[in-house]
Structure 1
Amino acid sequence: MKDQKKTILFDFDGTLAETMMLIHEVFNGLSSVYGYRHLPEAEIEAARHMSVREFIEFVGIPVWKVPLIAIHARRRMHDSMDQILPPHGLVEVLTQIHKSGRYFMDILTSNRRENVLRFLAEHQISWFDEVESTRAILSKKRRVEKYIAKKGLNPDELYYVGDTTVDVESARHAGARTVAVSWGLNTREALEKAKPDFLVHDPAELLSIFPAV
């Protein structure tokens, strides 16, 4: 029965896929197009400590340009998706969670759905029920709320797993439970400030939140 299962909604970039360096490459490639500051590789770690709003201010992007840049970046990422790997050990952990039969597992991403599907096919990952895409960058709250309504869930029945402060804040404001992973775009320290319900640093730790046996 559906009400006997937990529902887990996963972010994609940084959470399920190691796209940080690709995002950095694409971001820098678009800097001259949209007139913001090129980010040297030496500054990536400092940027990981910032929220999205802090970062766009740091590199000089007007808020109104953010959706335009995101759309352009998604298109540029497509041809490189077959080079992207999942975090070490994550596929094995999520396979265990899926095979337990105790969870519904979906993806909500600000990346293109086509990019995600290409990645999943490349790594023979076939156990997500749905892949949903949103153009929202600064907040996914409304999109999480729409997902909750679509699935007929009480908000606290949903666990949202993501790697940024935006993921944590969006899910919490929508009433969902929040699981932050520190192997993605934001650092452990930045995620701690967002106060997720759970903060994990290795894929195996997900099994303590979502037991597979």
Structure 2
Amino acid sequence: MAEPRLIMFDMDGTLIDSGAVIARHMAATFRDHGFDVPTTEMSHSIIGLSLELAMERLAQCDAETALLMAGTYRRHYRAMLAEGGSHEPLYVGALDALNRLRADETSALGIATGKGLNGVNRILTLYELAGHFVTLQTPDHNPSKPHPGMILRACAETGIDPASTVMIGDTTFDMELGRSAGARTIGVTWGYHARLALEESGADIIIEDYTDLDDAIEKVMN
């Protein structure tokens, strides 16, 4: 039987398209705190970091102010959820890819994301995906990306070595996370960082569609 492998997915920009929601709430938060409103591109550039670190970098403020801004952002986000509706759709092909990988007895699936654990669980419940993942790594109990902690903790939880792990994501933070942990990396082009940035941050392979994921995993793991 083949050796087990751990396949870690980023969430925002990789599994779900949440860029518009994030940019809107960033704009509202910055207005509330008297900062210049960031462009959509600026807001997209920090997706993947923990919310507090994202605020600190984007607003160029101190940690205390970033913490307050993160609280404001979360209030805007909760107000959106209270209104109902679907705001963060799965990318085309994501569900089929996850179902294929879940059916592979050698593959264990995990999440490594800048999204908070409550938000992760909400998305997994919404799309009936909770049973697909054996490990969920968030900033609630790890340092923010690109620190290797998320993958190292996932490996410790599953008993799978980082060398048998692949990190799949749309940002340079995902590629840096994977490389610093000793894992393989697959960049995806449908998210929020440019292909060139993914290449320069050390992606082992880059794909443009979920139909290419299975082959990419086999290539980087062999």
- TM-score scaled to structure 1, two decimals? 0.81
Contact 2:47 2:114 in 1 (8 A): no
Q: 2:36 and 2:128 mapped to 1: Cα distance?
A: 38
Q: 1:116 and 1:56 mapped to 2: Cα distance?
A: 20
Report how many aligned residue pairs link the two structures: 206
Segments of 5+ residues of structure 1 without an aligned counterpart are none
Alpha-carbon shift at residue 52 of structure 1 (Å) = 8.1
For 1:182, the aligned partner's letter is T
Aligned structure 1 segments of 4 or more residues deviating by more than 6 angstroms: 49-53, 55-58
The aligned counterpart of 1:95 is 99
Q: Which has the higher contact order (CA 8 A, sep 6+)?
A: 1
Do structure 1's residue 129 and structure 2's residue 149 form an aligned pair? no
Q: Deviations over 1:7-52 (max 9, x none)?
A: 11111111111111111011111103444321244xx2x7657898
The aligned counterpart of 2:111 is 107
For 1:133, the aligned partner's letter is T
More displaced 10-residue stretch of structure 1: 84-93 or 68-77 = 68-77
More displaced 10-residue stretch of structure 1: 86-95 or 32-41 = 32-41
Alpha-carbon shift at residue 124 of structure 1 (Å) = 2.1
After superposition, the Cα gap between the structure-2 partners of 1:139 and 1:73, relative to the gap in structure 1 and judged at 3 Å, is: farther
Q: 2:44 and 2:199 mapped to 1: Cα distance?
A: 13
The aligned counterpart of 1:146 is 153
The aligned counterpart of 1:10 is 9
After superposition, the Cα gap between the structure-2 partners of 1:49 and 1:115, relative to the gap in structure 1 and judged at 3 Å, is: closer
Q: 1:6 and 1:205 mapped to 2: Cα distance?
A: 18
Secondary structure of the corresponding residue to residue 132 of structure 2 = coil
Contact 1:141 1:170 in 2 (8 A): yes
Match of 2:170 among 129, 138, 163: 163
Say what the alpha-carbon RMSD is for the aligned residues: 3.0
For 1:186, the aligned partner's letter is H
Segments of 5+ residues of structure 2 without an aligned counterpart are none
The aligned counterpart of 2:197 is 190
Alpha-carbon shift at residue 56 of structure 1 (Å) = 7.0
More displaced 10-residue stretch of structure 1: 102-111 or 147-156 = 147-156
More displaced 10-residue stretch of structure 1: 188-197 or 122-131 = 122-131
Q: 2:193 and 2:95 mapped to 1: Cα distance?
A: 21
Q: 1:56 and 1:73 mapped to 2: Cα distance?
A: 9
Alpha-carbon shift at residue 100 of structure 1 (Å) = 2.4
After superposition, the Cα gap between the structure-2 partners of 1:58 and 1:168, relative to the gap in structure 1 and judged at 3 Å, is: same
The aligned counterpart of 2:181 is 174
After superposition, the Cα gap between the structure-2 partners of 1:130 and 1:186, relative to the gap in structure 1 and judged at 3 Å, is: same
Q: Percent same amino acid at aligned positions?
A: 23
The aligned counterpart of 2:73 is 73
- TM-score scaled to structure 2, two decimals? 0.78
Q: 2:55 and 2:118 mapped to 1: Cα distance?
A: 26
After superposition, the Cα gap between the structure-2 partners of 1:155 and 1:201, relative to the gap in structure 1 and judged at 3 Å, is: same
